[in-house]
Structure 1
Amino acid sequence: MRSILLAVVVLLSLTTTSVQAGWFGSKQTTQAESSPSWQQIFQNAEQEAKSTVAEVKSKTAKMERKSREVLADAKRDAAIAKAKAQRYKTSIEFQAADTKAAAKRAKAEAKRIKADLELKTTGAKADAQKYQADLQERASRAKQQSEEASKKAFDASIDFVRDKRNKIAAIFH
């Protein structure tokens, strides 16, 4: 991106140099050459291009910050989900130990409780995996949106600079 912007600035400066060197011919005078404000027009265009580049950089940085924040939020949510799943799993493991103690007193009741706990464990693992997959998908979408926004901002800056260059060229033709 910087190299393209540098190339645009070089083209603008070459255009300025060409006009100063008599690009329109040494004996011809044009309205732009005889007017004292043609240099001001170039300076204004160059300043506007610089401010546009700065604005695009600012917006790009803001979008990148936003995408990093979204990614950090997604990672934090995934860590929270993982911790909750671990706590739930630990809780179920303690319940299983209690169930084994109860199984000594009543074998039939223990089988029912064990089946119930296995069902809960399976459900909790499936829920945790589903939630983690959802968070990863959100993070992926956020990253993709950030990249698309960055590309659009870059394309917009290129179009803006190209438009300004064409306007400047139109002034001298």
Structure 2
Amino acid sequence: MRPAGQIDNTALLIAGRLVAGEGPERMVIDPSTGAGIATLRDAAMVQVDEAVAAAERAAPGWAALTPAERARALLAVADAIDRHTPLLAGIEARNCGKPLAASRDGELPRAADVFRFFAGAARTRTDMAADAYLPGRTSILLREPLGVVAAIIPWNYPLMIAAWKLAPA
């Protein structure tokens, strides 16, 4: 069993494949101790371009999923967070310099809950258009994806804030 918070893999996920970063190398520091917890390589600009292109190729497939299929995918993410909470909480605690309990008992369950919430929301849209209140009028609400976006995640709650950005998409 590996120690909680040990970071063994810092690969990038591009087009469904794990690849080593080709950019500058950096050390990840536990701010509570000043100790290095991992060495990683940033993505090179060409890898960023490859990741964006791969996301653009994948976006139509995600948009074409039924609400039930999207809900299942989001529930699978929530279940994976639950399954890997001990490892993820250790990494999160060391990466952010926060108490293990804050990650394990707070942030990780809440991140999983965000994915579960939006899994339900994917299947139960209850929006009402403004003109639905007017006699003889009707509206159709069509939700269309914006496309590929970049999400900036701060240091203090990276998993939680990533969940807030990813799950609604």
Mark yes or no: TM-score above 0.5.
no
TM-score with structure 1 length normalisation?
0.31
Higher helix share: 1
Q: Which structure is richer in relative contact order (CA contacts within 8 A, separation 6 or more)?
A: 1
Higher strand share: 2
